[in-house]
Amino acid sequence: MVRRDPPRRRPLLFSKPLVAAISGAAAGLLVEALYCDVRSSTPEAKLTAAFSRRGLIGEYGITWLLPRLVGRSRAMDILLSSRVILGEEALQLGLVDRVVAPELLFD
């Protein structure tokens, strides 16, 4: 019998670390970056969870994952406001682990 995991659960099952390098916009499917074990961004990176701006609920596991990364209150702010968060603020909120200059992002 073949084991079929839901697609959104697969990143949690990888045996090797997943690394995200965010240099532009992480919008809509921000959760893809949040599933990564280590997240780096540039100061100009833009992160947003735009679900509420479109009248939708948070999908793809972001409502489960985001509070575990940044805390409930911050997660509610991010999800309900749909505001754009730049790299430095993302670091302060705990969305990314470090902010580096664009030329150093992939080092």
Domain boundaries, the chain: 13-100
pLDDT of residue 12: 65
Residue 81's nearest CA partner among 104, 45, 52 is: 52
pLDDT of residue 91: 95
- In angstroms, the Cα distances linking 49 to 3, 14, 57, 91 are 31, 24, 10, 16
pLDDT of residue 41: 94
pLDDT of residue 58: 66
Separation CA 34–CA 11 (nearest Å)? 10
What does the chain come to in residues? 107
CATH of region 13-100:
3.90.226.10
pLDDT of residue 66: 86
pLDDT of residue 64: 82
Positions of the chain with pLDDT under 70: 1-12, 28, 53-58
